[in-house]
């Protein structure tokens, strides 16, 4: 049995209204992301970070949980809901260096 994958994505989104739009889009992701016609993301949450120098300008933290690396790869390459999320954030994220993603084995 494979371990669950926890993925953390940090975004540098300077505009408060764009932050709220990103959080709203994340809130629909678990229900709209499907693979083979079925929801496949085990959990999704997004948070606005505190304004603190230690966050290095990252203002939004998204957390997604997958049942396998294969599901995370599908999310990255083929998921229409993820493509919609990226389209929503296009032009709103400060670049360069405005997105950082890490993932690890874990339990939800």
**Mean predicted confidence (pLDDT) in 34-45:** 96
pLDDT higher than threshold 50 for residue 90: yes
Contact (Cβ atoms closer than 8 angstroms) between residue 44 and residue 30: yes
Identify the CATH number of the domain defined by range 4-106.
3.30.70.100
Helix (H) or strand (E) holding 75: helix 69-77
Considering the entire predicted model, what is its pTM? 0.91
Contact (Cβ atoms closer than 8 angstroms) between residue 41 and residue 63: no
pLDDT higher than threshold 90 for residue 99: yes
Burial of 76 (0-12, 13-18, 19+ CB in 10 A): exposed
pLDDT higher than threshold 70 for residue 2: no
CA dihedral for 8, 76, 45, 85, sign (positive or negative): positive
Burial of 32 (0-12, 13-18, 19+ CB in 10 A): middle
pLDDT higher than threshold 50 for residue 108: no
- Residue 41 φ/ψ, nearest 5 degrees: -85, 125
**Mean predicted confidence (pLDDT) in 53-67:** 96
């Amino acid at each position: 049995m494979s371990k669950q994958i926890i993925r953390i994505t940090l975004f540098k989104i300077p505009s408060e209204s764009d932050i709220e739009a990103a959080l709203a889009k994340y809130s629909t992701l678990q229900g709209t992301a499907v693979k083979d016609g079925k929801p496949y993301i085990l959990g999704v949450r997004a948070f606005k970070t505190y304004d603190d120098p230690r966050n290095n300008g990252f203002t939004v933290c998204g957390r997604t949980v997958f049942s396998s690396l294969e599901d995370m790869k599908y999310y990255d390459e083929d998921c229409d809901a993820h493509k919609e999320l990226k389209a929503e954030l296009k032009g709103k994220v400060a670049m360069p260096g405005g997105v950082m993603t890490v993932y690890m084995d874990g339990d939800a």
